[in-house]
Amino acid sequence: MADVRPFRALRPRDDLASQIIAPPYDVLDETAARALAQEPRCFVRVTRAEVDLPEGTDPHCEATYHKARENLDAFVSDGLLVEDRRPTYYLYGQVMGDHEQVGVLAAASVAEYDDGGIARHELTRPDKEDDRTHHMDVLDAQVGLVFLTYRPTDRLTELLAELSSRAPAWEVTTEDEVIHRLWPVPLDRVEALRAAFAEVDRLYIADGHHRSAAASRIHAQRRTEASSGFLAGLYPADRLQVLPYNRVISDLNGHTPESFLEAIAMAYEVHANGPDTPIRRGELSMYLDDRWFRLIARPEVRSFDPVAGLDVSILQDRVLSPVLSIDDPRRSTRISFVGGIHGPGALEEAVDAGAAVAFHLYPTGLEQLFAVADAGEVMPPKSTWFEPKLREGVVVRRLSSAGRRPQAQGTGRPR
């Protein structure tokens, strides 16, 4: 049973949503964040508040966290963000090319997260967990969505179709040509959604392990009703688009291209002049020495184990670690990760610019993610890349009732 609750959102004034919503904080470097902040109403001023401080300011210093709080308070006092009068759910949809997805924005249960009812598949880094905890604490609000997924049910599929058939409160096309839409759920449909989620056996974290861990730490300190939930976007697994998370390696660890090909042939059948994109699981495409190779995992290295059988695990365990001496990809400076949205061209460019080799993987499937999480295991780092990304500033969830609450302007919203 999934405990998924409505909440009173602070959200952009409908006519200003296009100026406010921003890419996730962790996909932006400082240069990109400062460029977005040229729009003074962009929410990056809350998620990356160093943009309002001198260049080179540490994003984890106290001044940055307190500037974020100052900016959030200003967004509220200036009426850029307004708060609904009564708790509800929100539907958040994205359209990217031929792909369309619609999910529910809600407060997920910290207790379910703590007891494993919300399944995880990644380890967290203490420094990133500390950062998200302090950011949430100083802001006294949750501003970033934890991306959750679930096995679809007929009732939730019906409700999402019904509720998204109405006109949205706003529709925005962002700079990457993704269409974003928000639907506040009518108050008379809130209980139907709550009951439908109660029939879901288990929720899974797709992305946002550090945010959910931070929410757990905040609740351990505060023990309030508000802190017992965390801001989440819940999407049915059959509507999500998972892309590969590809690898670029800076050097061949002393190998020549010829000796490297010989070494990896222990784990893979190596075929020259292969495609730049793998076509099935158990295969990957490798760019080396100005050519693409098709690599097919040999039967003896495949596994039915939910973790060891992943393509990213086979690559790590049979090539990156034993051949290239990259034992800890989380900390190695010799490996970089490229989201699948950038395509094989980005891998070619990286190698042509001086890297040694690049690997284009087949996407990890959600059923594989579920199997790993259900087994209580963790996936290798950077195993999945979801597109389109959920924007920040779409909704904000307060952790206390302090502060001014401007009344809404506009129509069609359950303020």
Backbone φ and ψ of 264, nearest 5° = -80, -15
* Sequence-ordered list of residues with C-beta below 8 angstroms from that of 9, at least 6 positions apart, any chain: 83, 84, 88, 90, 105, 395, 396, 397
Express each pLDDT in 139-160 by its tens digit: 999 999 999 999 999 999 999 9
Above 90 in pLDDT, residue 408? no
For residue 187, what are its two tokens?
A: 């108050």
User: Count of H helices and E strands in the chain?
Assistant: 13, 21
Pairing mode of beta strands 118-119, 170-173: unpaired
CA distance 294 to 274: 5
* Three-class SS state of 183: strand
Domains of the chain in start order, with CATH, are 4-241+387-398 (no CATH), 243-385 (3.30.1760)
User: Which amino acid, one-letter code, is at 154?
Assistant: D
Above 70 in pLDDT, residue 409? no
Above 80 in pLDDT, residue 412? no
Express each pLDDT in 150-209 by its tens digit: 999 999 999 999 999 999 999 999 999 999 999 999 999 999 999 999 999 999 999 999
CA distance 271 to 269: 7
Decide if 114 contacts 167 (C-beta within 8 A).
no
Q: Of the ranges 85-89, 268-272, 400-404, which one carries the lowest mean pLDDT score? A: 400-404
For residue 368, what are its two tokens?
A: 């594989």
Express each pLDDT in 8-44 by its tens digit: 999 999 999 999 999 999 999 999 999 999 999 999 9
Our measurement of the distance from residue 63's CA atom to the centroid of its chain's CA atoms, rounded to an integer in Å, reads 26
Confidence label for 232 from pLDDT (cuts 50, 70 and 90): very high
Residue written as token pair 């792909």: 99
**DSSP assignments along 125-180, one per residue:** -HHHHHHHHHHHHHHTEE-S-EEEEE---HHHHHHHHHHTTSPPSEEEE-TTS-EE
CA distance 264 to 317: 11
Range 295-304 average pLDDT: 97
How high does pLDDT run on average in the chain? Answer: 95
Express each pLDDT in 72-130 by its tens digit: 999 999 999 999 999 999 999 999 999 999 999 999 999 999 999 999 999 898 999 99
pTM (2 d.p.): 0.92
Helices assigned H by DSSP within 140-287: 154-163, 190-198, 209-222, 257-264
Express each pLDDT in 275-285 by its tens digit: 999 999 999 99
Reading phi first (left if > 0) and then psi (alpha if -120 to 50, else beta), residue 223 is in left
For residue 320, what are its two tokens?
A: 């990156």
